[in-house]
Amino acid sequence: MSPAARPRLSPLDAAFLALESEHAPMHVGWAALFAPPPEGPRPSFEAIRKHIAGRLGRAPRYRQKLAEVPLGLDDPVWVDDPDFDIGLHVRRARGRDFGQLVDEIMSAPLDHDRALWELWIAERLDDDQIGVVGKAHHCLVDGLAAVELMGLLLDVGEEPETDPPDGWTPAPRPSAIELVSGAVGHHLEQARDFARLPLQLAREPRRLLELPDQARRAARATAHTLVPPAPPSSLNGPMAAARHLACRARPLEDLKIIRQRFGTTINDVLLSASAGALRGLLEHRQEPFHDVKAMVPVSIDDGAHARSHERWGNGIAFLFLVLPCQETDPVWRLREVHVAMRERKRAREPEGSGAVLDALGYAPRSLRRLVSKALASPQLSNLTISNIPGPRIPLYLMGCEVTRAYPAVPLTGGHGISIGMTTVGGQACFGIYAQAELADDAELIAQGIDAGIDELLARCG
């Protein structure tokens, strides 16, 4: 592989890496529960680890680690890990309390000297289920790709498929000279792309007509990012290392009924129920009611994006939305959220936000790091709320059906709580991820989301 062609972090992936700190590890996580097989013995830890090892050929990135470019000349590149050991990544979880295991595992950062993912297996929990807790660095996967990692481990039938040995051997680690050469080649390639832009526009005049619309989309996205600023909130403050994941699940059909009755989307239901839950938290704390500004990841992994980025990595942009926490009526909260999100999407703001992030790829690395930290600061958003589509058919791990999968959306510096939702089979699973000192608040928000959906269901007639 030529130095210039070596896979490199995209600007967005590099931003997630830059956001990590001692008390703000940037791993995406999930906690899944599996029912033991109705007939026959349950799989052992060793059998599950062997099963996972046999499928890593489907995801080459999971046997790679990051290599820093000397002098910080460019973003890190992915290289094969010559010391890759499946035993360091698929680990046995000691204990039977699922919640305690999840909190302990999610509180520990990933080792950057290895491939940036881990799966922890609990063979038998207190309720007799099997638990799997996974985490992967956000620079490696977004929330959707994290679900797809679970897909590498699961089957649509109770009998697992068997992959032939892929004969993987690690490629030699690039030398410092090769890394520097690759960085120089990458910068030259960017310069050529930038220089060719006028010629490309001349060859495709229709693209000239699109430029004003693209500029308007980018300007609208930037304006909503900056204005209004996030209000001061007890959701934000100093960070600590320990984490807690509050979990709730309910039938996905409940959200579909609300969506159909009010003509909204599933994501609108999540956002409005979250607004109601945050209102309830303010009331519990006896704080004045105020609106809350949320960062909402939106997938932009369309065909054009897929052609310009690698399969593994992040295909998302961000919308910044003010949640109507001061509104008392749950239906009006839903309508306000729906109208705001509908207008943003009609104006193609996610694409505008993505274009801004792509444009930053041409900026110096030091400037990109500053911008990424500013975008993730509590001055621009109070929390992140993410809807991560998941599989809606029964899936199995060596004959064990997955019953729940709760997401953990990472916390950037100054953010105490995040809210995530994913779907597994016919279940909507909510994960409220928080600093440990806000564990009670996370549980209240989980209850509040549940109650908010119940309120909307009651208004469906």
Residues 209-214, mean pLDDT to the nearest whole number: 55
Contact partners, residue 411, CB within 8 Å, separation at least 6: 24, 239, 243, 384, 417, 418, 433, 434, 435
At 27-62, the pLDDT tens digits run: 999 999 999 998 889 999 999 999 999 998 888 889
Asked if 151 and 145 touch (Cβ cutoff 8 Å), the reply is no
Per the listing, tokens 């409220």 go with: 432
Residue 424 sits at φ, ψ, to 5 deg, of: -135, 115
At 321-364, the pLDDT tens digits run: 999 999 999 999 999 999 999 999 898 887 877 777 777 777 78
pLDDT grade for 238, boundaries at 50, 70 and 90: very high
Mean pLDDT (the chain, rounded): 88
Q: How much is the pLDDT for 308? A: 38
Residues 187-207, mean pLDDT to the nearest whole number: 64
Contact partners, residue 105, CB within 8 Å, separation at least 6: 29, 93, 118, 120, 133, 135
Q: How much is the pLDDT for 283? A: 95
The per-residue DSSP string of 60-111 comes to GGGGEEEEPPGGG-S--EEEE-TT--GGGTEEEPP-S-HHHHHHHHHHSPPP
Residues 152-177, mean pLDDT to the nearest whole number: 89
pLDDT grade for 105, boundaries at 50, 70 and 90: very high
Q: How much is the pLDDT for 332? A: 97
Structure tokens belonging to residue 393: 């058919």
What are the distances in angstroms from CA 192 to CA 10, 11, 189, 231? 18, 18, 5, 43
pTM, whole model, 2 decimals?
A: 0.91
Q: How much is the pLDDT for 309? A: 40
Q: How much is the pLDDT for 165? A: 87
Query: Does 318 have pLDDT greater than 90?
Result: no
Residues 171-185, mean pLDDT to the nearest whole number: 92
Query: What is the three-class DSSP state of 424?
Result: strand
pLDDT grade for 304, boundaries at 50, 70 and 90: very low
Q: How much is the pLDDT for 406? A: 96
Q: How much is the pLDDT for 367? A: 85
Structure tokens belonging to residue 227: 């204005």
At 354-388, the pLDDT tens digits run: 777 777 777 788 888 888 888 899 999 999 999 98
Residue 241 sits at φ, ψ, to 5 deg, of: -80, -35
Of the listed ranges 75-79, 104-108, 193-197, 384-388, the one predicted with least confidence: 193-197
Structure tokens belonging to residue 126: 């207190």
